[in-house]
Amino acid sequence: MRTTFSLLVGVSFLAACAREPEPEPVVELVQEDCYTVDVFSSTKVTAPADSISEARRAFAGVWENGAWNGSHCHDLYVIEINEDGSAVVIDTHGPGNGSDATAFRRTATFDEADRLVIVSGNSQRVYELVEGELHAVERVGKSRERRAILTRRT
């Protein structure tokens, strides 16, 4: 009986002392002054063929000022969209997270929901158009996820 009472008192005390969890800090997934890298290869955007759906055609162009979880800058050049569901992109990241600035020419694909998908090693990035912005989610392995929002360069 005494042990049960002591446990109840202890649990009640801990419950009374429990605090509401701290809210997550607000991070800006778009940063106007974000810098990635100067791309020296051709970044000319080829207009997609009329036979490609409008949903996919809308990805063509240069998307900039993304900030992965508010810190690591990211731009994406969607320079070619093909009828087979693939796209050619230049994927750029600013310095940070212990690495230099990078730019890679990659082949991306569109999924059945007309989202642009880039797979590289154990990383998968999915880009979705939402009200004129390019929303990105990157998953690395099964444990890490980060987000960014890119705006169209005008």
* Average pLDDT of the residues in 113-128: 96
pLDDT of residue 9: 42
Predicted confidence band of residue 146 (pLDDT cuts 50, 70, 90) = very high
Share of the chain above pLDDT 90, in %: 62
Instruction: Give Cα 25 distance to the centre of its chain.
Output: 18
With beta carbons less than 8 A apart as the criterion, state whether 50 and 132 touch: no
Query: What is the average pLDDT score of the chain?
Result: 85
Helix/strand number for the chain, H first, E second: 2, 8
Q: Which residues pair with 80 in a beta bridge?
A: 88
pTM of the model as a whole = 0.79
φ/ψ bin of 16: left (φ > 0), alpha (ψ from -120 to 50), beta (otherwise): alpha
